Chain A
């Protein structure tokens, strides 16, 4: 993964691309001092969004080859700033999915397709870029 000098201002975690490592990383984030001091609602949104973003990296970017993921979490007065980097496949069409709520008005409710909807609902300032061989996704989770 490319070096990025300004990358780590807050809490930084590097993990491998599997579900058990994601669970472990989330527990580490939630147990960290700056996150423990946040209002419960804000830290709960952080955990859910990070879970969805990291699951997507494992299930899509690293669908062919496993790899490393870097997560940075910075607590600001107005909320939380996050950056997730991986060196897997780029996002389809070079941009993150719109995240529409799946429509099940005709038929049974779906078992998937909610991940990007939740990410879009719970974040602001979402920005994706492909840098060399890496994906970088930045977003904020606002206090209110």
Chain B
């Protein structure tokens, strides 16, 4: 799965560059995120602003990534599109993650 990674002073921003995290891509998503767990410091901010569709397999994969990054490092979410936001809210998983409305760090300075 294609992602772009930006290391800032206080977090690691990972932008998912594909439109779907679903049953067909959930495993690839986890495998892409695994090596990033050891990179940079501070929270990992997962930028989902380009993801228009996420099903329960995708949701499970995001939770799995949270577990493989933690417990000492946080996975935060940013830029949820309406369809993706709805899945997090319906399943009450919005209470598990810090969800930023914009991309909180670094992106503004990107070359």
Chain A residues in the interface with B (C-beta under 8 A): 19-20, 22-23, 40, 44, 47-48, 51-52, 55, 58-59, 101, 108-112, 114-115, 117-118, 121-122
Q: Is there contact, CB below 8 Å, between A23 and B24?
A: yes
Q: Could you say which residues of chain A place their CB within 8 Å of the CB of B93? A: 109
- Considering the complex, give the chain B residue whose CB is closest to the CB of A110: B63
- Considering the complex, give the chain A residue whose CB is closest to the CB of B93: A109
B interface size (C-beta, 8 A): 24
- Taking the complex as formed, is B105 at the interface, i.e. its CB lies under 8 A from any CB of chain A? no
The main secondary structure of chain A at its interface with chain B is helix
Chain B residues in the interface with A (C-beta under 8 A): 20, 22-24, 53, 55-57, 59-61, 63-64, 66-67, 82-83, 86-87, 90-93, 96
Kindly identify which residue among B23, B82, B87 contacts A55, using a CB–CB cutoff of 8 Å. Answer: B23
Q: Is there contact, CB below 8 Å, between A114 and B67?
A: no
Residues A114 and B24 in contact in the complex (CB < 8 Å), given A44-B83, A108-B67, A109-B96: no
Q: Is there contact, CB below 8 Å, between B60 and A112?
A: yes
A to B CB contacts below 8 Å, 30 in the list? A19-B22, A19-B23, A20-B24, A22-B22, A22-B24, A23-B23, A40-B82, A44-B83, A48-B83, A51-B22, A51-B23, A52-B56, A55-B56, A58-B23, A59-B23, A101-B92, A109-B63, A109-B66, A109-B96, A110-B60, A111-B60, A111-B63, A111-B67, A112-B60, A114-B56, A114-B59, A114-B91, A115-B56, A117-B90, A118-B56
